[in-house]
A and B are shown apart, each in its own frame.
Chain A
Amino acid sequence: MVFNSMVFLVFFAVVYAAYRALSYRGQNWLLLVASYVFYGWWDWRFAGLLLATSFFSWGSGLVIADCRRKGNERGAWWASFGNIALNLGILGFFKYWNFFVESFAALFGRVGLGLEPRLLGIVLPVGISFYTFQALSYSIDVYRGKLEPTRDWLDFFAFVAFFPQLVAGPIERASHLLPQIQRPRTVTREGVASGTWLAVWGLFKKVVVADNLAVLVDGAFGAEGASGAMGALAVYAFAMQIYCDFSGYSDIARGVARMMGFDLMENFRLPYFAKNPKEFWARWHISLSTWLKDYVYIPLGGNRRGARRQTANLFTTMLVGGLWHGAAWTFVAWGAFHGALLAVWHAWARGRKNDAGPGRWAWLRRVGMFHLVCVGWVFFRSGSFSEAWGVLARVATDWGWDIRAWNMLTAMVLLCWPLWAVQALQWATDDMESPRRLSLVPKAALLLVMALMFTWFGNTGGGAFIYFQF
């Protein structure tokens, strides 16, 4: 079931009506059942994996706490390690088995050891990377003593399977979401209004902007005979597409949750306004970047062991981030590229003051950073390195501008201008919910434009979100 479908609309209407009528304990039961229905809609067999992940993480939390109470630190370590190994094992098997087998076979092939890779016909369970990371954060936090384990399996299982953010995040921390599940929620008129706005805005970004840009990108990215100008426009369009697709999902998730009285973490904060790589990762997929920071970068040593070690840690963390996105070397390259950007930026910024300030060249740096991010998107979008190099080479060398390029540029502007207008307002006011606070005329104008664009350009086919595959 996807958010941008009529099935979800009916599903949510039914769930929401029941949710408002139930007491908080009944609401948790409802959330659990609804979340498994939501997840099982794709393939009910994968609900077993979700169940297993929830069970192992919940159980490990209890075992860790039990060991701690008995002073058995080694037992607590093993319980935590076992849970991490089990969850990463499931993730690795479903997501990376074929990738690693193929890669090893290719490696051995190069040194003359021809191996027949034994590939499995595995279907990647949707959202597995998201809920695995979410469940892992719980057991790690319990092990670190930052979180009290919950004995109530219902609350924990509802936390892991919470349907608004189950398949594409935000990757919530147990310390943030679990307490909200454990106590009664208050649904306020303000919460419903702001949740509805978030959901509608997210839906607009997905079905109007992202889905239409996807058609343009698919037709131009790496297409035979497309000029460099078309290639550049396709990369820009993909940058907007992936932002609107993913942030649209996050906004719908946050909006739907807020309507039910939950507060999910912000996942995107105007990422293309970033002036440097560090700022970009503080604005892009915030729930993943903070997860990687807390559970990979800092345990590796962070910036505490000198500049060289920090560079290596940054690079390793971003490689993990790249691999998290998908089982392909292009994703690893994307991660490495961002790791390199971060390393270079940290080296440059070390010892300099006031980098976070606006600065004289702030806008130029924003434009520069956006283009660096776009270079990364080329690898992210490409199916192979040769395709990525082909696109980059064409963009750099061929600037033939024809009617197709004009059409594509105009289509991009037509689709994106409300987004840019809203982002300009959000930027000017430093308030992501500022469109909701507009006065009568601009608010009505914005809503009217959105309604007409939904009508004329909205994709009603329920196109899948890009991040579902991760």
Chain B
Amino acid sequence: MEMDPAMIRVREAERRFLQCFWWVFPATGLAGLMLTGGGFWAWVSGNRPWLDWHRLWSWRAVAICVCGGAIVALWKGFLWRRVAPWGPIALVLAGLACAECMVRWPTAQTAFWLTARSRGYLPEVCYIRLEEAAGRTAGEGAVVLVGSSQMVRGVDARLLAEILESRDVIRRVCSGMWAQSMLAMWGRIPFRKGDVCVQIRSAFDFTIGTEFDADWFRPLASPSGWSAVFRTAGGRISMKHWRRGVDYTLAAFSECWRMRDGAIAIGRSFWKGERKPPLPGGDGWTERELVWSDWQWRAFEEAAERLEDAGVAFLVFEGDVNPAMQTKGLQDKHGEFLKRMEAGERAGKWVFIPLEEQDAGIGDGDWLDMTHVNAAGREKLTRAMGRVVREKCMVERNAPLRGGAK
């Protein structure tokens, strides 16, 4: 079958391009190779990259040039051939699969999240992803800190590790990590049998938060929590937010999709991120009607069940609120929160540590805003947490606390 003239014109243009610029492909590969190593990591850190001439003549350089040349040969080989319509689609799918494998490679992960962090992308998310890329180094029976901004600002993991001495501390904390978010990123929390999961929870965690927060889920989503997130959200919420559901599903199963927010941050600040001021305290609280989120509670209970199945002890610290900013609505919900927490403890789902038992001694001067403590409060809270964790589960290193056992 003959080609139509329009197609011949395009193929002729391709032929002319290859004739003039065939060398671009091996040369690009070579330049890319020369940038790997010091030059590339300099760029990752936000510095000017440089080309390393010493890398020019190496077997790897030759291999990359050959690969570049192979593209040219392949292009030339198929230039005048007719291919089935699915041919390019199959190649694209293969290319996407290759890209997905490449971005999952730990070195690529480390480079990507380090770059994203240095370009101003959410440091807490980057920290979690970098820790994950490094793999779990903690020993058996580690204390795994999981939680939202109260945990981010309220607990000093290094100090806690010093207090706990014989147990390693793993930190998987991020602002806005409500119960459903925790489920969404379940596969990224490296629980092992014998670990202790420590969380700070308060009525806030079950009364605020966006329904099905796909923007939060995206960089941290994991396939292991996927079905549980939809199950606990329920049919009505899942249907209402079906677009977010599609987004989350893509993120749960594709690393390329999880990287998109970081990629955008890098794309917009390719050479260097602008220095951002440190996070200010919360800007107060406006009184509004608080609605108890049953779906958040269901997600929390689901997480507790999963922890129990995994043989991980579960300690829930009651989160405090700045007494100067306490509101009537929040107090009402706090009553509901305490009731449910105590019922869960009686059922053996977790160990609940109320404020009196924590005895952290947080005073009026230890608050940053309504729910977050300042540096002094952070130290007090960490020491109190360390003491309680020691009391509850450090009696014997290899005999960790079971849920509900006081």
Contact = CB atoms under 8 A, between A and B. Distances in A.
B67 interface: no
A135 interface: no
Nearest to B83: A440
A283 to B, nearest CB: 20
A437 interface: yes
Interface string A453-464: 001111010000
B272 interface: yes
Interface in B1-28: 6-7, 9-11, 13-14
Contacts, number: 107
A431 B9 contact: yes
B267 A444 contact: no
B268 A407 contact: yes
Contact of B13 (A215, A433, A434, A448): A434
A444 B91 contact: yes
B75 interface: yes
A404 B269 CA distance: 8
Contact of A444 (B6, B92, B264): B92
Interface in A430-470: 430-431, 433-434, 437-444, 447-448, 451-452, 455-458, 460
A456 B259 CA distance: 7
Given A212-B264, A443-B88, A444-B95, A410 B10 contact: no
Given A407-B268, A451-B92, A437 B6 contact: yes
A452 B270 contact: no
B260 interface: yes
A72 interface: no
A430 B10 CA distance: 9
A425 B74 CA distance: 20
B79 A455 contact: no
A414 interface: yes
B99 A452 contact: yes
A307 B342 CA distance: 90
Interface in A322-377: none
A6 interface: yes
Contacts of B11: 437, 439
A17 interface: no
B91 A448 contact: yes
Contact of B10 (A6, A438, A460): A438
Contacts of A403: 271-272
Interface string A5-45: 01100000000000000000000000000000000000000
B87 A407 contact: no
B274 interface: yes
B78 interface: yes
Nearest to B8: A437
A406 interface: yes
B366 interface: no
B257 interface: yes
A173 B79 CA distance: 40
A216 to B, nearest CB: 7
A428 interface: yes
A188 interface: no
Contact of A456 (B7, B260, B272): B260
Contacts of B256: 452, 455-456
Contacts of B95: 444, 448, 451
B111 to A, nearest CB: 15
A429 interface: yes
B101 interface: no
Interface in B236-294: 242-243, 246-247, 254, 256-257, 259-260, 263-264, 267-272, 274
5 contacts: A193-B85, A407-B271, A425-B13, A441-B75, A443-B88
The 4 A-B residue pairs with the shortest CB-CB distance, nearest first, are: A444-B91, A456-B263, A441-B75, A410-B270
